[in-house]
Copies of this chain bind each other. A is one copy, B any other.
Amino acid sequence: MTASQEIALAPVTAPAPASVTVLGYALLCALHKGPLTGYELVRRMRQPIGYYWTARQSQIYPELARLAELGLITSSGESGPGPHQRMTHDLTAAGRAAVASWLIRPPTPRPPRDELVLKTYAVGAADSSAMRALYLAEAQRHEQRLEDYRAQRTRLVARGADDQCHPDFGAFATLRLGLGVEELYAQWCRWLADQLAAGG
């Protein structure tokens, strides 16, 4: 592969690639069950989608414009409250196809970042009783989340979302993992607190 060949393969007139980012796909995923307004999408990206992929307004609105430019969504505006129009966004056929083909691609691995585990690596360099308090507080945080998740599961199961054919089965499946993760973290924090109590 020489330089001249590369130039020949990439015409100068070509516009920016503008491939869809994960955030873009997250928005498309949020729209897969029907149209939503921008503001509704902002709320969805805090909850429930925000549990595994968050975004703020300042990212969402420009991204919606990009998705519309790419022809993956249609955005129609109606006058609403305030100085802005209330825009409703809907998947196009191309958008629906883009999501479907992205979903079955293996996820690109992300660099892990967990501050609590990092601190644990150097646990020996800190005061044991202070660290113990930290892990107990974290355990409580996870146990509170666990309660929240259990309530959500009850509601989903009542609607029949634990059946693979139900439109909310995806939400049920993500919740199932969330329950496991929170329980695991809570138990691990309590185990560490016990260890620090025994040795300190």
Contact = CB atoms under 8 A, between A and B. Distances in A.
Interface of A: 22, 25-26, 29, 32, 48-54, 96, 99-100, 102-104, 106-108, 110-127, 130-131, 133-134, 137-138, 163-165, 167, 169-171, 173-174, 176-177, 180-181, 184-185, 188, 191-192, 195-196, 198-199
21 contacts: A29-B121, A32-B122, A50-B112, A52-B112, A52-B113, A52-B114, A52-B118, A53-B113, A54-B111, A96-B125, A99-B125, A100-B125, A100-B126, A103-B119, A103-B122, A103-B125, A106-B137, A107-B138, A121-B174, A164-B199, A165-B199
A173 B120 contact: yes
Contacts of A123: 103, 169-170, 173
Q: Is the interface of A mostly helix, strand, loop or mixed?
A: helix
Given A52-B112, A53-B113, A118-B26, A173 B199 contact: no
B180 A184 contact: yes
Nearest to A130: B104
Number of copies: 2
A70 to B, nearest CB: 18
A124 B170 contact: yes
Nearest to A191: B176
B198 A112 contact: no
A118 B29 contact: yes
Contact of A122 (B29, B116, B188): B29
Given A100-B126, A104-B131, A184-B180, A117 B22 contact: no
